[in-house]
Amino acid sequence: MSTASLNDKLAATLASREKEMILRRSPSTDTAVSSISPLIDFSSGDYLSFAVSKRLRNNFLERLAKSPDILGTGGSRLLANSKLHEGLEERVRRFFGVEAALIFNSGCSANVGFFSAIPQAGDCVVHDENMHASVYDGMRASRARDRLYPFSHNSLSALKKVLTKVLEERPGVRSGANSVFIVVESLYSMDGTFAPLTEIAELLESPLLPKRNAYLVVDEAHCFGIYGRGRGRVAELGLESKVFARTITFSKVVSSSGGAILSSALVRDYLFNHARALIFTVALTYSNVIAVD
C-alpha cells in the first residue's frame, strides 16, 4: 500500500508551520541545563536551579546507595505499589495539609487523569481560555466534553456571564443535580499573570450559585515551591478550604519529574479506579521517587 498521499499531507502540514515560523525543532544541546555549563539558566523550568545543585546531587546519590530498590517499578501502581511511592504521597499530603495526595508520572498526566475522570455525566466545566494543553486534553476526553465553557483570561465579569449562561442552559446544574467545575491556573507562565483566586472563590459562594455545586480546581504548576512557603498560591491566600482539587508538578522547583493531585480521600480513590493516565502506565521509577523525596 502506498503511503505517498499520507507522506504528502504530513510534509505539507510541516511546511505550513515552517512558513508561519511555528515549526518546532529540538533545541541545541549546547543550551541544555547542566552543572558543568558556564551559562546562567533563564529559560528552563528549573526555577531555583536545584537541578545543578551539587548538594542535592550528593544527597540523591547517598539515598540511591542506601535504597534496596532503584531501577524500574515492575508495573502500574495497581500492580506494583511500594512503600517509597506511598511514603512520598504521605509526605506531600502532610506538607500541604490535605486529606489525600495521589502521584502521577507528570503534571501533564495528572491533569489528563483528573479532568478525564472526575466530571460526571451532565456536569459542566468552565475554564480560563489560557489553561494548560493537558487540561484541554483531559476535558476533551471527559464525559463533559460537550459541555465545556471557556471564559476570557482572568476576567471575573466574563466568568460570571459564562456561569449565568450555564445556569440558563443546563437545568441539571441549576437544580443542583449536576456539578460545574471552574478551572484556572494560579499563575499563568506565558503571561505572568495571577488568577484572581480570592474573588473567584467568593463568586462561587455567592447567591449566583445557591446549590453550592460549583467546584474550584487550581493548577499550581508554576506556584508550588515558590509561593506560600512552598505550598503554592492557594495556601498563600488561605483558600485551601475553598478549592476542590489542586495539581502540582515535580518537574520545576523540585527538578525531577512527576506530579500529584491534592484533594480528598474520596477523589483519590476514584482516580485510582478511573484515571486511565494512572492505571494504564508504569508507576514512577524508584529512583525518580527518591529524587522527588
Question: pLDDT at residue 117 above 70?
Answer: yes
Answer whether 167's CB lies under 8 Å from 144's CB: no
Listed in order, strand segments (DSSP E) in 176-258 are: 180-185, 187-188, 193-194, 214-219, 245-249
Q: Rounded distance, CA 269 to CA 274, Å?
A: 9
The lowest-confidence range among 105-109, 232-236, 288-292 is 288-292
Q: What is the mean pLDDT of residues 262-273?
A: 96
Length in residues, the chain: 293
Whether the CB-CB separation of 247 and 237 falls below 8 Å is answered with no
Cβ(135)–Cβ(276) below 8 Å: no
For position 35, what pLDDT does the model report?
65
Q: Tell me the C-alpha distance between 283 and 259, whole Å.
A: 12
Cell readout for 101 is 495526595
**CA distances (Å), origin 177, targets 4, 75, 139, 203:** 52, 38, 20, 20
- pLDDT value for 34: 66
CB 117 within 8 A of CB 271: yes
Q: pLDDT digits over 269-289, tens only?
A: 999 999 999 999 988 888 888
Query: Which pLDDT value is given to residue 32?
Result: 66
Residue 170's pLDDT band (cuts 50, 70, 90): very high
Q: Is residue 221 within 8 Å of 247, Cβ to Cβ?
A: yes
CA separation (Å) from 62 to 54, 73, 79?
12, 20, 28
pTM of the model: 0.90
Q: How confident is the model at residue 1 (pLDDT cuts 50, 70, 90)?
A: low
Q: What is the pLDDT of residues 182-237, one digit of tens each?
A: 999 999 988 889 999 999 999 999 999 999 999 999 999 999 999 999 999 999 99
Sequence-ordered list of residues with C-beta below 8 angstroms from that of 206, at least 6 positions apart, any chain: none
**Taking the CA atoms of the chain, what radius of gyration do you get in angstroms?**
21
What integer best gives the mean pLDDT of the chain?
A: 90
pLDDT reading at 96 higher than 90: yes
